[in-house]
Amino acid sequence: MYRQGVKAKPDWPEGWWFLGLLYYESHSFNEGRQAFTEFTKLEEKAPAGWAYLGLCEFEAGEYESALTHLDRAIASGARPDPDVEQVLRFHHALLLTRGGFFDQARQELQPFVQRGIRDPVLIAGLGLNALEMRLVPQEAAAQRSLVEGAGQTVYSWIAGDSSQAEAGFRSLLAAFPSTPGIHYLYATYLLAVRPEAMNGELQRELEVNPANTRARAALALRLARAGDAAAALPLARKAVEERPDLAAAQYAYGVALTEAGTSHDAIEHLEAAVRLDPANLAHHTALATAYSEAGWYERARLERAESIRMARESRGPG
C-alpha cells in the first residue's frame, strides 16, 4: 500500500518514511536506502531520516556515505528514541574507526562497555579500533582471531578487569608477537599500571612496525619527560614529518623542544597540538609552560587560565 501511495504521490514524505521503516525492519536495506533518500529530499531538516538512511547504507555496505549521513544526524543535536540513538551511535563509532578517526571512535565505543553490553560486533569493533585497522567487523573475517582477541582484551581493560586484561595481553603477545599494533596497544595499557615497562614495548612496536607514528611520538614524549631531550628530538621530529596532522606528534615535538631549551620553536608545535586536539588538557598546560619560558607572559597567563577552567570542568561540580 505504501509503495502504491508514493508511486501515486511522490512528494508524500510520510509515505516514504513509513515505507523506509518497513524496509529497514524487514532487513531490505537497499530498498530502505532508496526510500529514505526520497524522504530526505522532501524533509532535509529531519535528523531521523538521515539516521535511518545512514543505517541502511551501512548494512548495504556503502560505508562512506553512511558515515556522512550519520554525521549529519548527530550534528543536528536532536535526541531520537533512546533505542534508535544507541544503534545510531554504535554504527557511527564503527564507521569512525573505518574512516581513521580512532580516538573519537574509542570515546563512542566506551559507553557500551560501561553499560555492560557484550556483543560480538562490539568486541570486533573494539579490536579493530585498538589495532587501528580501518575496517568494519564485516570486512575483518580473515583476521577474526586477532581482532576478537584484541577486542576481548580491550573490553576487560575498559571494564576495569585488570586480571583478564593482563591475561589477554599475554595471549596476544604470544600469538601475534610480530603483528603491527599489538606492542603499541600493550604500551598504552602499561602507562597506567607499569609505566616503567612502557618504553620497551614502544621500542618493540617500532621494530616490527616502523611506520607506527603514534608509537614514535609516544616514545619521544616518554624520553622528553625523563629529561633525555637529545634522544627524544629526532623521534619527535620524524613523527611530525610523517603525520603533521597528528596532535600527539606535535605535542611530543613541542615538549621535546621545550625540554631542550628552545621554547620559541616549541610554541609552533604546541599551538598545532592545541588546534588539533583542543580538549586535551596536557596540550594547554605544555603550551602555557612554553609561553612562560619564552617570555610571553600574557599568553602564558591566558593559557593557564584555560587549563584551570578545563581541569575544573573535568572534575565536575563540587
287 and 181 belong to one structural domain = no
120 and 101 belong to one structural domain = yes
221 domain-assigned: no
223 domain-assigned: no
Give the residue from 53, 80, 107 where a domain finishes.
80
- Residue-number span of the structural domain to which 7 is assigned: 1-80
25 domain-assigned: yes
226 domain-assigned: no
Query: The domain spanning residue 259 has which CATH number?
Result: 1.25.40.10
Residue 183 near residue 201 (C-beta atoms within 8 A): yes
123 and 187 belong to one structural domain = yes
94 and 204 belong to one structural domain = yes
Q: How far apart are CA 88 and CA 145, in angstroms?
A: 27
93 and 174 belong to one structural domain = yes
123 and 198 belong to one structural domain = yes
22 and 52 belong to one structural domain = yes
Q: How far apart are CA 41 and CA 49, in angstroms?
A: 10
56 and 102 belong to one structural domain = no
53 and 145 belong to one structural domain = no
305 domain-assigned: yes
What is the pLDDT tens value at each position of the chain, 318 positions in all?
888 988 889 999 999 999 999 999 999 999 999 999 999 999 999 999 999 999 999 999 999 999 999 999 999 876 767 778 889 999 999 999 999 999 899 999 999 999 999 899 999 999 999 999 999 999 999 999 999 999 999 999 999 999 999 999 999 999 999 999 999 999 999 998 999 999 999 999 999 999 999 999 999 999 999 999 999 999 999 999 999 999 999 999 999 999 999 999 999 999 999 999 999 999 999 999 999 999 999 999 999 999 999 998 876 554
105 and 34 belong to one structural domain = no
pTM of the model: 0.86
Q: Name 234's Cβ contacts closer than 8 Å, sequence gap at least 6.
A: none
The residue type at 82: P
Give the residue from 23, 51, 80 where a domain finishes.
80
> Of how many residues is the chain composed?
318
Q: How many domains does the chain have?
A: 3
Give the residue from 58, 80, 102 where a domain finishes.
80
Q: What is the distance between the terminal CA atoms of the chain, rounded to a whole angstrom?
A: 58
274 and 206 belong to one structural domain = no
38 and 135 belong to one structural domain = no
